[in-house]
A and B are shown apart, each in its own frame.
Chain A
Amino acid sequence: MIYQAAEITLMVGAVLGLGAVRGPQAQRLLLVVQSYLIWAAFGVYVIAHIVRDLDLLHVSGVGAAEQNLFFRISGIWSDHGGSWFLWVALIGLLGPFIVLRARESVTLSRPLLLIQAANLIYLLALVNPFTLNTQPDVQGVLNPLLHDISLGIHPPILYTGTLLLFISALGLIHDPKEEAYLRAAKLGWAVHTVGITLGSIWAYYELGWGGWWFWDPVENMSLLPWLLGIFLLHPHKKVFSWVQTVSILIVISVLANLWLVRSGLVQSVHSFAHDAEQARALGMTVGAQILVALWGVRFSEDYVSRVAWQKWQIRIICLLLGVLGVTIYGPIVVATLYVELIAFTPAYFEYIVAPLMLLTVAGIIYFLAEGQQAFVQIALVGLILVLIGFAYYPREVVALAAIGVGLGILIQTLRGWHVFDRGLTFAHSGLGIMTLAIGLNAVFSVELTKEISKNPQQVGRAQIQLIRMGEAHTARHHKRHAVFRVTKNLLSRTLTPYFQLDKRTDINVSKTALHPYDFGLIMVSFSAAELHEKPSENDTITAYIRIDPYVLLIWFGALMMGVGAVLSTWFRRSENFV
């Protein structure tokens, strides 16, 4: 009964989208009411997962056998339908929040009402969360690969950040002068940064997801709104059309990503399996949202060409951003069209996308440094040298360029660019530290497969020794573990990586073990060679070892950026704002 009621609540919420034809006051009221309705339904949904009501299909699909409350709640967004509901619910929370903060602007409620209506129609028609379970004896489990504490943290935080950025960009398209939107965009960018960082940490310790950054299509796509958001953090004084242009690009990129990730067109660790019908329906939903967002946009009089476009630096930065966009989306489009023919390897991104990103960052730094002539000449000479070296030693040169750009940012920041603003100093130092650490890590990281025996062995500058191995069989799992002693950074600890075969789903879950190594980590785990090796036959084990001596600094720098952006949102005098 209660599920039908919740379903009807959602339908009413969708119908309220019609209120978009009324005046601004009514729209604002309807938006709040719509959000209350969505949250009432979402509340029912969450409680159903908490009390494990197997009448609900989704509960029996993801959390039927789950004892732990944390994973029963996280299970909500472990698949397409549930995470879509979370997305809608979060718009319902953050939308009214931003609308009510921006008291003087009346333009955001209308697109939000319509967007939520489109989302709800898709939700109810194609992935209805309140579908009842007709086969109560069939029970699913949470995907064992997702059975991790990060599942509870990474998606909601990333969604919150992306949506704050998205909704405030939606507002800025129509009202670029509203300070509350810029403020919310800044906050959103900060949370988005933290969300991406958490994803990076998760992918790092979850083996097989390829390290702290793997150029997974979805990782790449999340970068675009992030890079564009940088321009909202540094709004050009009084060029509101520039803010509008950037906001439009943000809205389009977020929605395009939503479609690409969820349609199943992209091969990624994030992708959801889907049929063509779902992809089409989703495409229409997203297309409608883009139309709604852009409907009736009026560019501010100060069109970019008048003021900012005159500066050649802006032109170059735009060109770089354009090329960057093409190099990131290009492979996705190619892979979608010729899915079985061509694949882009990580090297493509390391040698092409990463240098372009560095160039873009360097361009922005140069632009913000207000053009010192000496700087240009040094930069040009440096650029030519880099290009020549790049042809022969791409990896080293890109890494060196990252180190250079990182140092440059740090030096410029510490020279007192923003003495008056602690948040900015903090954020820019974070960017410098992160870029520097990425470069250093690329030079010094090591990845190897090695036989480890019971005698201590030197790996890099760490000592590794096998203590013992073990095996355990249960009804659900077949688990193997090994105990190592690792000594590094004046610290000696035992590490216990394991891998287990989940018998219900036939998935190997391999948990790594980490130990500090300089400013980063050393990772020890089973290697593939152990897949069909009986333990206890001999006293050695083939371990997969990865040393990333600066990876902690990368995350630290990224989090610093996020925290700095938040600080400068709250502790900045408003007259400096635009």
Chain B
Amino acid sequence: MKPKYIRLLRYLIYLGLVVSGVLLILKFTWNELSFYKTPTQVRKGSFVGKSLRLGGYVKKGSIAKAGNALRFVVYDSHTEILVMYQGPVPQLFREGQGVVLDGKLDPQGAFKATRVLAKHDEVYTSKKRTLEPKL
């Protein structure tokens, strides 16, 4: 092969690498972005199987054990949603308090949380705007 073609080939390979890299980044960025929703929004839309961040309040008296998971209800002004959470003990978690959960909606309509967001402020309450769900 002439050096000219070798060089051309090399540039094509680079171009291919860059393009595939960008496509991959887009693909994963899109899938792994998780959108913040309230229970009402979750009920209205179709979010089964998508990564979500759910914000709301923990309903009083709803906390129970279900097999290996912790079961509770998160609500906002209009809707309630059942949450199942498996994992370590969350640090800020109390009946009636606001919570932010990462997870996915399963086909039965329950929210499978993989993470209860915790933080350690110097002020120990969840006063910050992201922890305060929009009602």
Chain A residues engaging chain B, CB cutoff 8 angstroms: 78-80, 143, 145-146, 207-209, 264, 267-269, 271-273, 327, 339-345, 347-348, 351-352, 380, 383-384, 387, 390-391, 394, 449-451, 499, 505-510, 525-533, 542, 544
Q: Name which residue of chain B comes closest to A447, CB basis.
A: B87
- Min CB distance, B132 to chain A, in Å? 9
B3 within 8 Å of A by Cβ?
Answer: no
Residues 92-125 of chain B, each 1 if its beta carbon lies under 8 Å from chain A, else 0: 1110000000100000000000001111111110
Which 6 A-B pairs rank lowest in CB-CB distance, beginning with the nearest?
Answer: A79-B122, A348-B32, A528-B70, A510-B89, A273-B121, A505-B124
Partner of A507, one of B51, B88, B92: B92
B88–A208 CB distance below 8 A:
yes
Which residue of chain B is the closest to A339 with respect to CB atoms?
Answer: B130
Tell me the smallest distance from the CB of A564 to a CB of chain B, in Å: 32
Q: Check if B87 sits within 8 Å of A544, measured CB to CB.
A: yes
Distance to closest chain B CB from A378 (angstroms): 14
Instruction: Report the interface size for chain B: residues with CB under 8 A from the other chain.
Output: 50
Contacts of A450 in B (CB 8 A): 68
Contact of A544 with B88 in the complex, beta carbons under 8 Å: yes
Docked pose: A340 CA to B53 CA in angstroms? 9
Determine whether the beta carbon of B87 is less than 8 Å from that of A449: yes
Task: Assess whether B12 is interfacial by the CB under 8 Å rule.
Answer: no
- Some 6 contacts from A to B, beta carbons below 8 A apart, are A267-B128, A269-B118, A269-B120, A340-B134, A508-B93, A528-B70
Instruction: Given the known inter-chain contacts A506-B124, A544-B87, please indicate yes or no for A351 contacting B130, CB distance below 8 A.
Output: no
Complexed CA–CA distance, A78 and B70 (Å)? 32
Whether, in the assembled complex, B15 has its beta carbon less than 8 Å from a beta carbon of chain A, the answer is: no
On chain A, the residues within 8 Å of B117 by CB distance are: 267
Q: Is B135 in the interface zone, CB < 8 Å from A?
A: no
Residues of chain A lying within 8 A (CB to CB) of residue B13: 380, 384
Chain B residue nearest to A525 in the complex (CB):
B88
Interface of A is mostly: mixed
A451 pairs with B64, CB closer than 8 A: no
The answer to the question of B5 belonging to the interface, with a C-beta cut-off of 8 Å to chain A, is no
Minimum CB–CB distance from B118 to chain A (whole Å) comes to: 5
Of the residues A348, A449, A451, contact of B86 by C-beta under 8 Å: A449
Determine how close the nearest CB of chain B comes to the CB of A152; give it in whole angstroms: 16
With both beta carbons as reference points, the residue of chain A lying nearest to B134 in the complex is identified as A340
Q: Which of A273, A449, A509 contacts B127 (CB 8 A)?
A: A273
* A-B residue pair count with CB separations less than 8 angstroms: 153
A354 CB to closest chain B CB (Å) equals 11
20 more contacts with CB within 8 A, not counting A341-B35, A526-B88, A532-B65, are A145-B120, A208-B89, A209-B118, A267-B130, A269-B118, A327-B25, A340-B55, A342-B36, A343-B34, A345-B34, A347-B28, A348-B29, A380-B13, A449-B68, A450-B68, A528-B70, A529-B65, A531-B70, A531-B93, A532-B63
Q: Is B123 a contact of A273 with CB atoms below 8 Å?
A: yes
Contact A345 B32 (CB under 8 A): yes
Write the nearest CB–CB distance from A557 to chain B, whole angstroms. Answer: 26
Using known A-B contacts A80-B122, A387-B17, determine if residue A340 contacts B28 with beta carbons closer than 8 Å.
Answer: no
* Nearest CB of chain B from residue A439's CB, rounded to whole Å: 19
Residues B32 and A273 in contact, CB atoms below 8 Å apart: no
Instruction: Tell yes or no: B129 within 8 A of A by CB.
Output: yes
Most chain B C-beta atoms within 10 Å of own C-beta, residue among A143, A268, A450: A143
**Docked pose: A211 CA to B8 CA in angstroms:** 47
A352-B29, A383-B17 known; A451 vs B68 contact (CB < 8 Å): yes
Please encode chain B, from 66 to 95, with 1 for each CB lying within 8 Å of some chain A CB and 0 for all others: 111110000000000000011111111110
Q: How far is the CB of A283 from chain B (nearest CB, A)?
A: 18
Contact between A273 and B118, CB atoms less than 8 A apart: no
Enumerate chain B residues within 8 angstroms of A507, measured Cβ to Cβ.
Answer: 91-92, 124
Task: Decide if A542 touches B68 in the complex (CB within 8 Å).
Answer: yes
- A574 → chain B closest CB, angstroms: 40
Q: CB-CB < 8 A to A347: which residues of B?
A: 28, 32
Q: CA A526 – CA B28 in complex, angstroms?
A: 33
Chain B residues positioned under 8 Å from A348 (CB to CB):
28-29, 32-33
Contact B53 A207 (CB under 8 A): no
B119-A390 in contact (CB<8A): no
Most buried by B among A510, A528, A529: A528
CA distance A451 to B51 in the complex (A): 27
